[in-house]
Structure 1
Amino acid sequence: MNEKQQNILLILTDQQRIDTMKCYGGTVCQTPHLDQLAEESIIFDNAYASCPICTPARASLQTGYYPFNVGMQANTYGAHCLIRELPDDPMLLSRQLLKQDYSAGYTGKWHLGHGKEIVETEDFRRYGKKSITFPEFQYNIRSLPTDLGYEGDDFPGHGDGGYEYPEYLRYLEENNLRFETVNTLSGNFDVHTASEVVSPIETTVEYYLTERAIHYIDRFRRRRRPFFFALNFWGPHEPYMAPTKHLELYRNQHLEPWPNFYDNNENKPSIHKARMANSKEWSAFEPYVKHYFGFMSSIDEQIGRLLDYLKQNDLYDNTTIIFSADHGESLGIHGGLSDKAFFMYEETCRIPLVVKQAGPKQEKRRENRFIGSCDLYATILELSGVPCETANSRDGRSFVPLMDGETVTDWPDCVVTECSGLENVLFTQRMIRHSNLKYVFNCGDLDELYDLNLDPHEMSNLVANPTYVSSLTFMRGKLAEWMNEHQDGLLKLFKRMRDV
């Protein structure tokens, strides 16, 4: 192992709001292990997902490209995902890590390929179009982690929490365990469910995935070379599965409504209604929020178990630990919005990003420059020894210099999140953050402009406010510049539609 090389651990949650963590101002959700990790880490205050949808955001992490440059702009086998299986490529994260002589491992949610093992292909087959022969199936193209160079576990498709995979069910059987839930909640959301897990913690998918991570890292540490490992939890994405001990932390609390819960959505895009829950009463959301928090506390406990393993085996100090999420979650914001996509609010686009560097223990510090999903790809590559010019050759830029405290005068002054809709609704969006301003291009609908200094909860859309005419013009021009730089195919039509 080269003296300069370090182990890299990426811990990724799915659909996690930043206010579940104390370091981002959270006051209710309890995540003591992540709190402790943050005390030794760099906390990035302005990290954003490339897309607030699972497959596109995860494609950016593996390729370094925005989804529009990959072709995976929706969940795999959704109506507008051009590519069903992530294409193999020498510049994939896994391939570059192997080139640097890393052991590269992966477990948990993938959502970048199905393979023939899964016959169900979501919306297309669900609604009777069974005559469609997808070319990936026809030519036996499969892109699961081990197909692309990772050692680890292959969990094809979305996974729906991971509860039906044969590997997990076999784990339960071999350990004489049975996963049991009670008090299932449903009805306020189209798809969201929540349950209390009454079986032992060892029966949870979160415990199982942590066991798998420890298994592979234990194998890797016996080799004379560094490792990269990605532990991908399915939670706290719904279904919200909260073990009793963690649900008890919140069960008898009265949770205050989100600061932007009571929004009449005046002067807001009509597309937001596509993800409106069945009720607009806080009492209908509160039980789900409690389960969501309980689920997150359960995940935190397992992260603590993994960190303890690293410490007990002298790996902690020589491992850079990156904790983040693919995107955020709504849970009733702005009058009852649920899930994600179709709206570019902070709760769904902004993501936690906490990085503990390898080496001597450091004090907590904060970084407020803009970071995107593609920057994570570039950063991991540079940490592994990939030359900076190669790591930065795609849509992202390594933030290793920011981690090292270097003076960086040319860091990008904006960040963009894209979206192309969800399920069977195609809807083109681009969101750009610059300084205190946030502009959202909603194709075919009303655009949005927010001043986050004056309106941090995004209640007042300023797009038609005469005081902000110059700001709107500036932000549209800024977005056009960004599109041109990143070869966004939307640029030509955006300029025509908004007279940029």
Structure 2
Amino acid sequence: MKPNIVMFIADQMRSDSLAHLGNPASLTPNLDTIVKEELGVSFKNAYCQNPVCSPSRISFLTGLYPHTLGHRTISYLQNDFEPNILKEMKENGYEVIWIGRNDVLDSRKDKSEYCDLYISGINGDMQKMKEQFINDETQNFIKEKRKGDNFYSFYYGEVPKNFGMLKMDEVWVKSLIDYLKNRNSPKPFFVYCTIGLPHPPYGIPEPYFSKIDRKKLPKRRPNINLIKNKSSMLYGIFERQNLKKWSEEKWDELRAVYLGMVNKFDEYYGDIVKVLKEKKLFEDTNIFVFSDHGDYTGDYGIAEKVQNSFENPVVNVPLLFKPSKNIKIKSSIIEKPVELIDIPATLADIAGFQLSYTQFGHSLIKRLNHEIEFNDVVFSEGGRIHGETYAMEKGHGPDSEYWPRLETQCQEGPEHTKAIMCRKDNLKYIYRLYELDELYDLNSDPHEIFNLIKNENYKEQIAWFKLRILDWMVETGDFVPSRKDKR
């Protein structure tokens, strides 16, 4: 019998929001157990391949980089001919259950090719989501919270216990638990459950709101207007969000609420583990927990995320793996860098089959067991070229919380344009097509403040990074389709 697999995925969770990875204010006891009780591993330096939702998700569900098939924005999703690990798992004997967020396929598309059961939690199509979850009480609460300089901050603070925007996660986790309790298929299960926490708005009810000790919060990264030679995208968002007058106390409230949301996610994970143990499934189930990308959470004076900037808060994500009992690995916190594109190859390794298509990830289990080496570098990428105005995500006016970012994306300067991040050891290099490149020493400058790109002492390293990116682009720029067409 093939082992079971559960993927439990957060939205917008940064790696340093977990207690076992060094955040003294964080409360993640259930996730910390994976390492503390020697159940599995936590990858401290896991990187997503794009710092926004859809491009990252398509990448970790295929093992392909965003540039390989051009998935660079939220609105350009997978085509029928493209590979997907959900299809592969279904074709190789798994009962595939997809619960929660989509962000990968056109919402009108039938998902039966990808899974045996899709649970959206929405009574009808996406247009009815607002009616179902965002009731009048929630709407009125949001209007009050958006007043003043809170508007573009996404900060709601303490929200009512029945706050509609959090109800969807509750529905999704309950659906997963109900499936585990009542499943009757003889097949092994593969559950892909992807929820909203801790995606902004930054709001959480009691007791989570008060759980986080504000005095233990790590130091916030300085506002971007105090830093030279960063991406023009960050400066543009900073000016439009206009949170420059916020005090550290106010930022601390936002950051504490975010950690309260992470604590709620951790509690949901604990609920899932409890049911797996009750049903005697825990030892035979592989569990992956990770996020599609991170969140600035006030670092640099910015709320939310950005599409083509690569500071650790937005690209360094949690990645935890609890293996089934038949897989032997040493439990620890792994310092070696890894990419989320390794996930499809890892899943195929667990399930005992070869992926039917060319992709660029490698099994994390083989890496952990020293059968193959860890990569020497990790990559992330984003942005567009000049002229691709259809990729700007137009249509959001100043009455949208997302306006500061999306208005900046709609400029035809360098703001929304292509960039590639490559990290090796302590150095992080960012190649920018239309503006100044970036280079940071993460040992001496963990907050990525001092751009070393003009420092003559790093000329050799910069030249090495450029050649390494060239090799990577040649290798991963495309792949030959596995099917042959009739001439």
Moved more, 275-284 or 341-350: 275-284
Other-structure match for 2:438: 448
- d(CA) in 1 for partners of 2:358, 2:64: 10
1:97 aligns with 2:59: no
Cα offset for 1:291? Answer: 1.8
TM-score (norm 2): 0.81
Structure 1 stretches of 5 or more lacking a match?
77-82, 116-141, 490-500
Cα offset for 1:44? Answer: 1.1
Any conservation in 2 of the 1:206–1:302 contact (CA below 8 Å)? no
Other-structure match for 2:191: 229
Cα offset for 1:479? Answer: 1.0
1:87 aligns with 2:79: yes
Any conservation in 2 of the 1:184–1:196 contact (CA below 8 Å)? no
1:46 aligns with 2:8: no
The DSSP-based 3-state class of the residue aligned with 1:427 is coil
- d(CA) in 2 for partners of 1:270, 1:201: 36
- d(CA) in 2 for partners of 1:180, 1:357: 45
- d(CA) in 1 for partners of 2:268, 2:467: 45
- d(CA) in 2 for partners of 1:46, 1:256: 18
Cα offset for 1:352? Answer: 0.6
Other-structure match for 1:408: 372
Q: What do you get for the CA RMSD once the two structures are aligned?
A: 3.1
The DSSP-based 3-state class of the residue aligned with 2:152 is coil
- d(CA) in 1 for partners of 2:283, 2:163: 28
Other-structure match for 1:61: 60
Structure 2 stretches of 5 or more lacking a match?
385-391, 395-408, 410-415, 480-487
1:381 aligns with 2:348: yes
Are residues 89 and 213 of structure 1, via their aligned partners in 2, closer, same or farther at CA, if it must alter by over 3 Å?
farther
The DSSP-based 3-state class of the residue aligned with 1:417 is strand
Other-structure match for 2:259: 293
1:423 counterpart (393, 398, 407): 393
- d(CA) in 1 for partners of 2:81, 2:197: 29
Any conservation in 2 of the 1:325–1:352 contact (CA below 8 Å)? yes
Cα offset for 1:279? Answer: 1.8
* Structural mapping, 1:360-375, within 5 Å: 364-375=331-342
- d(CA) in 2 for partners of 1:181, 1:368: 43
Identity of aligned residues (%): 24
Any conservation in 1 of the 2:27–2:212 contact (CA below 8 Å)? no
Supply the AA of the counterpart residue of 1:96: E
Q: How many residues are aligned here? A: 439
Supply the AA of the counterpart residue of 2:318: P
Cα offset for 1:251? Answer: 7.3
Other-structure match for 1:119: none
Other-structure match for 2:364: 399
- d(CA) in 1 for partners of 2:339, 2:306: 18
Any conservation in 1 of the 2:49–2:379 contact (CA below 8 Å)? yes
Supply the AA of the counterpart residue of 1:484: V
Cα offset for 1:109? Answer: 1.3
- d(CA) in 2 for partners of 1:35, 1:201: 28
* Structural mapping, 1:86-485, within 5 Å: 86-89=78-81, 91-115=83-107, 142-143=108-109, 145-146=111-112, 148-154=114-120, 164=130, 166=132, 184=145, 187-188=149-150, 190=152, 192-199=154-161, 204-220=167-183, 222-250=184-212, 253=215, 255=217, 257-260=219-222, 264-276=226-238, 277-280=241-244, 281=246, 282-336=248-302, 338-359=304-325, 364-387=331-354, 390=355, 393-403=358-368, 405-409=369-373, 411-420=374-383, 423-424=393-394, 425=409, 426-485=416-475
Any conservation in 1 of the 2:69–2:478 contact (CA below 8 Å)? no
Cα offset for 1:285? Answer: 2.2
- d(CA) in 1 for partners of 2:3, 2:171: 26
Are residues 479 and 451 of structure 1, via their aligned partners in 2, closer, same or farther at CA, if it must alter by over 3 Å?
same
1:26 aligns with 2:16: no
Any conservation in 2 of the 1:145–1:154 contact (CA below 8 Å)? no
Cα offset for 1:204? Answer: 3.1
